[in-house]
Structure 1
Amino acid sequence: MIRSIAAAVCALLASVGLSACSSARDPGTYAVPGDYATVQDAVDDAVPGDLILISPGTYAEEITVDVDDVTVRGLDRNEVIFDGGDDLRSAFIVTGDGVSIENMTVHSYRHNGVIFTGTGELGHFEDDYRDPPETEDDGTVPHLERFHVSYVTSYNNGLYGVYAFQSRNGVIDNVYASGHPDSGLYVGQCDPCNTVIDAVTMEDNAIGYYGTNASGKVYVVNSTFRGNRLGLTPNSQTQELLSPQRETFVVGNVIEDNDNANTPPITRGFFGGGIAIGGGVANYVARNLVTGHDVFGIGVVGFNPFDPEGNVVEGNVLRDNGTDLIYGPSSAVSTSAGNCFQGNDFTTSLPEDIETLMPCDEQDHPLDEVDLRYPRDPAGVDYRTMDAPPAQTTMPGDLTVAPAPLPTEPTFPDLDAITVPSA
């Protein structure tokens, strides 16, 4: 209550032309709805270092977080609920550096559950959200710096569950996303991304993880991608900047049954694959358990106009896939192009005997063209009709303690310590 009175005094001073006083105060911990009626009210008055704690309840808000180094945290992951009512755009639109969104559920927004964006232009996501923004005068692409989303459940939103666009030095952990017609999790147009995705679960989406032009130290580890139309795809595209995509590490994940027709479809989508490296460069796919896909378990394939180069697929366990391992560049490519396969536990491949034809010996090997025929993408269902997911594990620890500021760069996982997960 004291904080609310102070905020009112500061607002009154500002309204008569005097300097607002909130920017000079020390950071603290403030409650919604105890100290502020809405989350947006709290964010609007926030200073770097603030912790905004949200009590259980249902909130019909769209929050823009444009202040740096603020943490927005629910007190119960399953009881702090942001409901867009199929009307609001996104639950959280984050343009500030160093922001954490934690321990809550977001659903039924027309666009995204949570979006971090370095564009600084919210209109980019209102209408033609796929048009890439302009670069800076020097040709560089500005990035949002440092972000964290943790213990968030995001479901049945119109595009993405969690969306990190033109953002880097981030951590996405313990997130559950389902029922999205684009992808549960998207990291795109960043270089270097320096982003760690750990212990997430993506189910019943068009795509579990979508990494378009996400390059430079992207780690997807210790996670589950189940029952999507496509499990995960680091990929290159021309409709976003910073192509081609490169250097994603996909290690130690369970990737199963990503051939679910009873999911929302994506326009011109692919159906029935576990991991698809679509025209990516220098990606590392290792020690994943990949099972139960109609078309392929792991595919290193061309994605017009890009062909894959220098990708390594090793030590994966593949079972019950239409074809376990596939290499399928465009017809213009007649060599291995530095792509290689070794030490995988598999049964079928295209081309046959793929590890003999494409060994990891730093040489370029000639290859015959592979004739790949993909099935028609089934119609799917409206994302609004998908069932809500079950309750998820809430964030442990004392939730009233404000976290330290996010580091300049996240701690990257020790890949050598990650083994193939059990079935």
Structure 2
Amino acid sequence: MMAGRSLVLWAALLAGAGQAKTIQVAPGPGAAEAVQTALIEAAPGDTVLLAAGRYAFTDGLSLDVKDVTLAGVGEGKTILSFKGQKSAAEGLLITADGSVVRDLTIHDAKGDGIKWKGVNGVHVHDVTVEWPDGPKATNGGYGVYPVASRNILIERVTVRGASDAGIYVGQSRDIIVQDNIAEYNVAGIEIENSMFADVAHNVVRKNAGGILVFDLPNLPQMGGHSTRVFGNRISDNDTPNFAAPGNVVAEVPTGTGVMVMANRNVHVFDNEISGNGSAAVMIVAYKKPFDSAGYNPLPRDVVVRGNRLRRNGFAPAFPGGAELAKAVGGTLPPLLWDGAQTYLVDGKPVTEVVRIGSDVPALTLNLPSATADMAAARPAPVQLRAAGLPPEPAPVAVELRATR
């Protein structure tokens, strides 16, 4: 068993190191324009420092200069409000390598709170992103959202109210998500179509679903694998699912602790998982038809071990869940697997052995295929052994620049 903390490798910033400067902005008339101007005019190595106060924006911010830090003076002290935002899908969009965002709060982004797209080097820490009016389908989709990126460190971040996922990392690799709080979102933390991720020591509570590890079709990067979910407190995820209809997460049952869907080599261990009405851990196939060449909708090589479990599965919120629980004594066992081992490619069935290891009681639905619904279920207890499964992935190492 490897466990242990992930590794952050700090590299000195060489470009412009001798000339790095701090650009200070204070709240007041013209502050919104001053912040965007500072982000445009910053040079590599510079810090844009926002003084305490509330900054009101009617447009989103963008950063496309590498190795720039955007900093406030503390969460709840420097507040960027996008309640009046009229355009742009994000509060802050970053398309440059090596950015750092720290010590500030973002409110009411029209779309995502902070989004990084196609960058190498993402470091966000001591940041709050929230929609203060509470869970609503009209809230932005993601709080913190790196996509198509690598070398990602998300730590000491709090996200509340996202209508999709509070902390979401998609189509990326070399990822550490640690020491965060995700609450009152549809999904607390989601790792999607990504490789080499550590999700560790987070508090994930009061969402509809806690931690999701998914792989979806029809995306530029598919075949997600090698994720460790460990040391987290995943509790009381009982917020009714408020995702907009049609979103993938709209189908996550309220009361899900951890859900693994169509991903490979996922290890879930040493977590505290309690108070989740649907299930502590759900392992399922992607259910919808797809036409992505090479996509595999089945979960493979998933290990669930050494978790501390308490009162889960007492109120399943998925179709047929209440009847299923009644049939097995009123409460579902800690692990629920849909049992699917067949899917269709070009109309032809493909069958493979799905290997899942667990040290806790499990129930399989024995679904005949990935796309079958609950009407075809033949539930039965199942013994899931970890013998022969791949070893736990190595701790993730990310490479980031050192900051002042």
TM-score by length of 2: 0.72
Unpaired runs of 5+ residues, structure 2, are 1-15, 132-138, 289-296, 314-331, 344-350, 365-379, 391-396
The CA deviation string for residues 36-57 of structure 1, in whole angstroms up to 9 with x for no partner, is 9521111111111001111012
Contact 2:44-2:68 at 8 Å conserved across structures: yes
Query: For residues 41 and 50 of structure 2, what CA distance do their matches in structure 1 show?
Result: 15
SS of residue in 2 equivalent to 1:42? helix
Contact 1:223-1:252 at 8 Å conserved across structures: yes
Q: How does 1:20-419 map to 2 (within 5 A)?
A: 26-33=19-26, 37=31, 38-61=34-57, 62-85=60-83, 87-88=85-86, 89-118=89-118, 144-156=119-131, 157-190=139-172, 193-215=173-195, 217-261=196-240, 264-267=242-245, 268-271=250-253, 272-304=255-287, 306-322=297-313, 323=332, 324-330=334-340, 332=342, 337-342=354-359, 344=360, 348-351=361-364, 354=382, 357-362=383-388, 409=399
The CA deviation string for residues 225-271 of structure 1, in whole angstroms up to 9 with x for no partner, is 1000010111011142222221111000000111222x633433212
The CA deviation string for residues 37-88 of structure 1, in whole angstroms up to 9 with x for no partner, is 5211111111110011110121123211100001110012102111111534
Unpaired runs of 5+ residues, structure 1, are 1-22, 119-143, 365-406, 412-423
Aligned to 1:382: none
CA shift for structure 1 position 24: 11
**Percent identical:** 27
CA shift for structure 1 position 335: 7.2
For 1:264, the aligned partner's letter is: F
Matched positions, count:
311
Query: For residues 92 and 363 of structure 1, what CA distance do their matches in structure 2 show?
Result: 41
CA shift for structure 1 position 180: 1.1
CA gap of 1:363–1:239, structure 2 versus 1, over 3 A, is closer
CA gap of 1:86–1:179, structure 2 versus 1, over 3 A, is farther
For 1:188, the aligned partner's letter is: G
Query: For residues 337 and 52 of structure 1, what CA distance do their matches in structure 2 show?
Result: 50
CA RMSD of aligned residues (A): 2.5
Query: For residues 389 and 37 of structure 2, what CA distance do their matches in structure 1 show?
Result: 59
TM-score by length of 1: 0.69
